[in-house]
Chains A and B, each alone.
Chain A
Amino acid sequence: MTSLLEALDWVLTADSWTGPGGLGVRAGEHLLYSLLAVGLSALVALPAGLFIGHTGRGRGIAVVSTGVTRALPTLGVITLVALAAGIGLTAPMVAFIVLAVPSILAGAYSGVEAVDPQIVDAARAQGMSPRQVLLGVEVPLGLRLILGGVRLATLQVVATATLAAYVGAGGLGRPLFLGLRNHDYAMMLGASIVVILLAVVLDALFALGQRLLARRPGTA
């Protein structure tokens, strides 16, 4: 209990946030890594997931491979890639992308699949091309679930991005590992609190977005 109070005290001290290694910079790095990883993952996983949902092709492979990658320990992936790519941001980025892709992929194809097949059929029967059906009907109607996948991925990556510090990159893992090494539990716990706050704020933003989407007529 006292250590928690000390941690809060440390987080609420202005000095902890300033300077080149302060919480402000670390939280910024943490956010940047997370958004970068989720963004890069979405670049691959969104089109792939939409394609799978629209065509039904590759679904079996997607289910199996996402199951497998979800079982991979992130720390193991970082270590493995770091052996090849060396110290720095590359290894953690690869690991975060491996972590984020399955969630985004699954959200995208289940979002498209959740759209009423009769509506999709009607859209095709009016003469919409497959692309028009996807972008004009399936994506807008499935958007809430598609966004749900990105939300889950973001939460996972933000919670895991502390591991970037394990191979010399920045982020909130730095004060966390530093505190651990120096037995400075206030710092360690304080850094964890900031990670949690970051995750909660981002998740709330996504929740808000999804709630706004749910109010649109016809959203699956």
Chain B
Amino acid sequence: MIEFRQVSKTYSDGTAAVEDFSLTVSSHTTTVLLGSSGCGKTTLLRMVNRMVEPTAGSVRIDDVDVATVRPVALRRSIGYVMQNSGLMPHRRVVEDIATVPRLNGAPRAEARRRAMELMEVVGLDPQLARRHPGQLSGGQQQRVGVARALADDPNILLMDEPFGAVDPLVRLELQRELRRLQDDLRKTIVFVTHDIDEALALGDQIVVLRPGGRTAQTGTPRELVEAPADDFVSRFLGLDAGRRKLRAAPRPGGGQVVTDDAGRPLGVLDDADGGPSAGAGE
């Protein structure tokens, strides 16, 4: 469990990035911090591994204040995936993935073996192991980033817009695979994004943020869509502009055709199992 207890961060230049933010992230779940650029998401995320020190309040992991843990040891126990992949340009993929196991004292051969395993887990061709990151596509780089973060089997995974820089199709595929991975691994994930669709696709819990790291609403994806707390949330989710408004009309062969607000068909709703997810989206 990760707890943010009334944390604030004012940077040395006077920017108040986060003010009095509190949140509990349950173990083995995915929490998405959702907000537009500059609202303090990265600042909040980096408080967990002490890449940022809060100016007030505390962050606790399983009831231990992270401020009492040595930063180097803390970071080696937490996976961190960055938007720009943050891969080491001078290291081969397999060496980069093996970084944290090596730092934690695993022998070279053991760390390599682990890295090769992880490449398979994240769906990377083992042939890429000897490449440098400059020789990989954006999507492959992000997979390497995820593999590196998972390499020493951390309980916590911090992901900062990890799929933000890849093209939309690859992004959907990476999201799908992250869901599949999470079904197996059940990590405690804090995921930062400004993409509402990504948040709805991945979050067990979503925190919608206003500028200054203030919480607009916290809830499950369903709670947010069903009952947005205010205009800000509803605008952010695209509920006001009709972007998420769907229509259903009877179909000659039975069931209903579901269309978006503009009348474009999205799928078919069977009368028998007219669940909320039938065919919509993707």
Given known contacts A126-B148, A128-B103, A217-B134, A118 and B86 CB-to-CB distance under 8 angstroms = yes
Q: Which residues of A contact B134 (CB under 8 A)?
A: 217-218
- What CA separation (Å) do A216 and B134 show in the bound complex? 11
Say yes or no: A126 contacts B103, CB within 8 Å.
yes
Who on chain B is nearest to A123 by CB? B88
Task: Count contacts on B: residues with CB < 8 A to the other chain.
Answer: 23
In the complex, A83 has a CB within 8 A of chain B = no
Say yes or no: B84 contacts A216, CB within 8 Å.
no
Which residues of chain A (182-220) have a CB below 8 Å from chain B?
216-219
Q: Determine chain A's interface SS by DSSP, over half rule.
A: helix
- What CA separation (Å) do A122 and B75 show in the bound complex? 11
Write the residues of chain B forming the contact surface with A, with a CB cutoff of 8 angstroms.
Answer: 46, 49, 51, 72-77, 80, 82, 84, 86-90, 99-100, 103, 132, 134, 148
Given known contacts A122-B82, A124-B51, A217-B132, A129 and B90 CB-to-CB distance under 8 angstroms = no
Say yes or no: A122 contacts B88, CB within 8 Å.
yes
Say yes or no: A126 contacts B80, CB within 8 Å.
yes
Say yes or no: A126 contacts B90, CB within 8 Å.
no
In the complex, A84 has a CB within 8 A of chain B = no
Q: Which residues of A contact B89 (CB under 8 A)?
A: 116, 119, 141, 217-218
Say yes or no: B90 contacts A125, CB within 8 Å.
no
Q: Which residues of B contact A137 (CB under 8 A)?
A: 88, 90
In the assembled complex, how far is the CB of residue B102 from the closest CB belonging to chain A, in whole angstroms? Answer: 10
- What CA separation (Å) do A129 and B46 show in the bound complex? 17
Besides A118-B86, A137-B90, 4 new A-B residue pairs in contact (Cβ under 8 A), listed by A number: A119-B86, A122-B86, A127-B76, A218-B89
Say yes or no: A125 contacts B86, CB within 8 Å.
yes
Which residues of chain A (125-149) have a CB below 8 Å from chain B?
125-129, 132, 137, 140-141
Q: Which residues of A contact B84 (CB under 8 A)?
A: 118
Given known contacts A119-B89, A141-B89, A217-B90, A125 and B80 CB-to-CB distance under 8 angstroms = yes
Say yes or no: B49 contacts A125, CB within 8 Å.
yes
Say yes or no: B99 contacts A126, CB within 8 Å.
yes
Could you pull out 26 A-B pairs where Cβ atoms are within 8 angstroms? Answer: A118-B84, A119-B88, A121-B51, A122-B82, A122-B86, A122-B87, A125-B46, A125-B49, A125-B75, A125-B80, A125-B82, A125-B86, A126-B99, A126-B100, A126-B148, A127-B72, A127-B73, A127-B74, A128-B103, A137-B88, A140-B90, A141-B89, A217-B90, A217-B134, A218-B90, A218-B132
